[in-house]
Chain A
Amino acid sequence: MYKIIKKVSLNPTVTLMDIYAPLIAKKAEPGQFIILRVNDEGERMPLTIADYDRVRGTVTVIFQIVGATTELLNHKNEGEYITDFVGPLGKATHTKGLKRVAVVGGGVGSAIAYPVAKKLHSEGAVVHSVIGFRSKELVILEDEFGAVSDKLVIMTDDGSYGEKGLVTNALKALIESGEEYDEVIVIGPLIMMKFVCLLTKEYGIKTTVSMNPIMIDGTGMCGGCRLTVGGEVKFACVDGPDFDGHLVDFDEAMERSAMYRPTERNDYDKACKLIPKEGKRDA
């Protein structure tokens, strides 16, 4: 059992949790992920490590409430426990030797992009961050990104905060203004990563993406998370989750991520039945 040390609501649909897992905290690196199960009946769900504190022994995860398991998880409070928490899984994001990097985050993906920006900053790289959200009330981690970025651009789809438009608009503007990058690192929805890659390909800038396919075990034993990268089949859980974005078959990845969409609503209803009713929850 793994204790929830801290729980903060970052916006109406995004929650941060610090989980006590000292052995994982000791080894975790930006770009790696964990798999958790909320309770004994739960499914296994991957979440990228958003931060870690090796001294306190905690691992931070940030998740968007999108379905059954995230809803169940969001009903857990500080001091309560989740059943399983496995990691650190996957390979760490490659940051060594990078001097000038654009870090692009979309929505809750910004939470995963943040530790990468932080690490690059601590290694002395020039970091330009572009983070995008649908609207003002969904903006997260603005101060955190500000602290580790030499330049920070916030985009909202509706223009209610920062600049109006998509992250691709901001990245294009930066590149057109003469900024040069060794690499672009982009983390967010598949469709966003796809369009950032199409953009950077035009300029010939190496681009790393963090893929988030459906997973079960996260240790390489099933291939449920397989992707086509440069014409070869890769398992995101062990070969990734980071890949060269210009080689990833995004259309296939988007198809595969929608595999269970027809049953997800049903699972959500099942999960709601498992959530303790208000007032009945243990004090």
Chain B
Amino acid sequence: MPNMSLKKNEMPVQEPSERNKNFSEVALGYTEEQAIDEAKRCLQCKHKPCVAGCPVYIEIPAFIKEVAEGNFDKAYEIIARSSSLPAVCGRVCPQEVQCEQVCVRGIKGEPVAIGRLERFVADWYIENNKKAVEKPVPNGHRVAVIGSGPAGLTCAGDLAKMGYAVTVFEALHLAGGVLVYGIPEFRLPKAIVKKEIDALIALGVELKTNMVVGKIQSVDELFEEGYEAVFIGSGAGLPRFMRIKGENLRGVYSANEFLTRVNLMKAYKEDSLTPVLRAGRVAVVGGGNVAMDAARCAKRLGAEEVYIVYRRSETELPARAEEVEHAKEEGIIFKLLTNPIEILPDENRFVGGIKCVEMGLGEPDESGRRRPIEKAGSEFVLDVECVIMAIGTSPNPLIKSTTENLATEKWGGIIADEQGRTSREGVFAGGDAVTGAATVILAMGAGKAAANAIDEYITSKSQ
């Protein structure tokens, strides 16, 4: 009998007043009982709209059925057929606009907690599985993957499962891309990311860190080395600044720099050799998930007051509703309809404040969002010692500039079709490198599509 409760099983979380002082995970995950009970809310619909709502098409009702029956290892096997990083996706996917948005149970009441169940299954498997990984039979073909973020890891995992010898080239010293330098520990524990990557290595994926492709080797040299196809999943890591006065003062960070120091270099730990400014009052400019992450990190580093400064209103905030909610619970102050115009120095030429103007909203612009308009005479100064710019990123030009005949958009994105095929034969691309900054799961979907296209390309070429 299905569980007809209209509400999801609540997931236990750390208390806001407690968690805003530590970097431990906020959401604690379901117990076995909670997971089974939640799984029973799934109606096992025949038309299963949830599957089409998932960018990597996980067989959602099938895995949930196994959870309901307590067969967690079988549930994992079903998920693993489609997703290489379930412990990550269960945590960071915006399920409310994907699988859960189209769940039939969501018509009357709350949808089935698909993300929480995926997370439960993945965590259970990491904790309990003792089986050795069965390595796929090698097919004798080699593929190079540039970038070890969600797109690259998914592409590598899928190709490895098909028997390809895959080498992943990563520029930083740790694999994971935004999963390790961007998304903070309290949303996605790094130990979880490491275990998912270790699982890919166990599958036979070779990982080379400290390799800045475009500098140490070019895409053409990878082909010369015998790779038959190259997947570019180098992301969109180039930070934007506002180009306002005072932006180079000490105490102004890009969100990328601030989060890299905190997450990748663990600057929040007392014994870390990487410094980060621990300011009492911080302004984060922007309204996306990155802004929420930066604000919540700043709070955890001991800031008394952290402001989100965003030029539109709450309705237009691009961050996930859940992240905005969590930020508010933790005491982040939202300065909406507010735009910075200058960063002011203190007497020591560190940041002393941020001069802002109030905004009103006009007619919708090309993006469909209402255009913010400055209110005359509304200038005021927020008294802060640190400013973090989280107003977006664009693709790094390094690979584009060192790969001949690779067509790109004016703003830097690599031009690729739905299957990831670029203007160069044998070169595929996906994720933020193609779309500009988007979500983890869209990057995974692109990595998956490209893996299939690469398989098709190499198979047809070798016939």
By a beta-carbon cutoff of 8 Å, the part of chain A in contact with chain B is: 23-24, 27, 37, 41-44, 68-69, 83-89, 216-217, 219-224, 226-228, 233, 238, 252, 255-256, 258-260, 263-264, 267, 270-271
Contacts and interface: CB of A to CB of B under 8 A. Distances in A.
15 contacts: A43-B265, A83-B173, A86-B173, A86-B210, A87-B216, A88-B215, A216-B260, A216-B274, A217-B172, A219-B237, A220-B398, A222-B239, A258-B250, A263-B275, A267-B273
Interface stretch (B89-97, B129-137, B240-248): B240-248
B273 A217 contact: no
A18 B57 CA distance: 51
A69 B249 CA distance: 25
B400 to A, nearest CB: 12
Contacts of B13: none
B297 to A, nearest CB: 15
B281 interface: no
B272 interface: yes
Residue of A224, A264, A267, A271 with most chain B CB atoms under a 10 A cut-off: A224
A27 B216 contact: yes
B243 A255 contact: no
Nearest to A2: B210
Given A43-B272, A220-B397, 12 more contacts: A37-B173, A42-B273, A69-B273, A84-B209, A88-B216, A216-B261, A219-B398, A221-B237, A224-B254, A233-B247, A267-B273, A271-B273
A222 B173 contact: no
B273 A41 contact: yes
Given A23-B217, A222-B254, A233 B273 contact: no
Contact of B396 (A27, A43, A219): A219
Contacts of A221: 237-239, 256, 260, 396
Contact of B256 (A223, A233, A270): A223
A222 B248 contact: no
| Chain B interface bracket (under 10, 10 to 19, 20 to 34, 35 or more) | 35 or more
B284 to A, nearest CB: 16
Residue of B238, B248, B265 with most chain A CB atoms under a 10 A cut-off: B248
B366 interface: no
Contacts of B250: 255-256, 258-259
A226 B274 CA distance: 18
B365 interface: no
Contact of B398 (A68, A83, A238, A256): A238
B401 to A, nearest CB: 10
Contacts of B217: 23, 27
Contacts of B247: 233
A85 B114 CA distance: 42
A114 to B, nearest CB: 22
Interface string B255-278: 011001100010000011111010
A20 to B, nearest CB: 13
Contacts of B260: 216-217, 221-222
B369 interface: no
List of 6 A-B pairs having minimum Cβ-Cβ separation, nearest first: A222-B257, A221-B237, A43-B273, A43-B274, A260-B275, A84-B173
Contacts of A42: 273
Nearest to B217: A23
Nearest to A38: B273
B382 interface: no
A44 to B, nearest CB: 7
A227 to B, nearest CB: 8
Interface in B173-219: 173, 209-212, 215-217
B424 interface: no
Contacts of A84: 173, 209-210
B265 A219 contact: no
B270 to A, nearest CB: 8
Interface string B420-441: 0000000000000000000000
Given A41-B272, A86-B210, A87-B216, A216 B257 contact: yes
Contacts of B273: 41-43, 68-69, 267, 270-271
A89 B248 contact: no
A260 B265 CA distance: 15
B349 interface: yes
Nearest to B250: A259
A27 B211 CA distance: 13
A51 to B, nearest CB: 18
A233 B171 contact: no
Contacts of A252: 248
B237 to A, nearest CB: 4
A256 B246 CA distance: 12
A19 to B, nearest CB: 12
A267 B248 contact: no
A235 B367 CA distance: 30
Interface in B24-60: none
